[in-house]
Amino acid sequence: MKCSVCSSEMNDKYCSKCGQYYKGGRINFITFLGDLFDSVFSLEKSFFRNIRIGLSQPKTLVLNYWNGFRKYYYSPGKFFTIASLFLVLHYSIANDFLGLVVTSNISSQFVILLSNILLLTFSSFLLYIQFKKNFFEHLILNIYNVSLWIIIFFPISVILSLTVNNNPIEQYFYIPFHILIIIWNSKAFELTKAKRFLFVTINLLMFYGTLLFIVYKFGEF
C-alpha cells in the first residue's frame, strides 16, 4: 500500500516518511465519533498528557514555547480554544462561572476568560520585569495558565452551579482559582521559596487591587 500524501510504501499504520496514519475500514458511527473527539480534544492521549504536564511541570510548556519549539506540546492557542469550548459548555448548563455571572450573549461569555488573561498579564509583566520577558511572552504564560485552570475548575463550577443556589458560596472558589494561576505563573521563573511566596503575595494584591478598582469604577461584569 502506498501513502496518499508522499506515495511511499507503507508497511505499518504510519508512513515512515511523512508520518501519516492509516486507519483502514469503512467509516461508521464509532469511527466518526472517535475522529471527531480526537480532532477537537485529542482525547486519545495528548489532551490528558498536556493537562498533566501543565499541572505537574508548568514551566515545561511555557519555556518550550518561549524558546521557539512548536507542535509537540499544545500551543497556548489550543489551550485557549479548549478552555473557550469548556466555557461554552458550562454556560449551556449555568449562567455563571464560580459564581461570577455574565450576560447570556454568547460573545460576552468570554469576558471572564479574556479579562482574567489581560489583568494577570499586566500584573505579571510588572512584577517579573527583572526577568526581561516582554508583554507578549507574559501573555503566552497567562493564556496557558488561565486556560489550564478554567479546564480544571470546570467540573467544580458545574457541580456548584447545580447543587448550590448561592453565588457568594460559589465565589469563595474564585480565590483559590486565582491563587493557583498566580502560583503557576511564578513557576516559570527561577525563584527561591521566600521570593516565590513574596512575588505570589504581591501579584495577588496587584491583581485583586486592580479588579476591585475596575468593579468600583465600572460596576460588576
In sequence order, the 6+-apart residues with CB closer than 8 A to the CB of 138 are: 121, 124, 125, 128
Do residues 144 and 134 make contact, with C-beta atoms less than 8 angstroms apart? no
Q: What count of Cα atoms within 13 Å lies in the side-chain half-sphere of residue 86?
A: 23
Sketch the domain layout of the chain as residue ranges. 1-41, 43-218
pTM: 0.75
Instruction: Calculate the average pLDDT of the chain.
Output: 80
Do residues 182 and 203 make contact, with C-beta atoms less than 8 angstroms apart? yes
Tell me which amino acid residue 165 is: N
What is the tens place of the pLDDT at every residue in 153-183? Answer: 888 887 877 777 666 666 677 788 889 999 9
More confident residue, 168 or 78: 78
In sequence order, the 6+-apart residues with CB closer than 8 A to the CB of 101 are: 95, 167, 220, 221
What is the tens place of the pLDDT at every residue in 82-135? Answer: 888 888 777 777 766 665 655 555 555 667 678 888 989 999 999 999 999 999
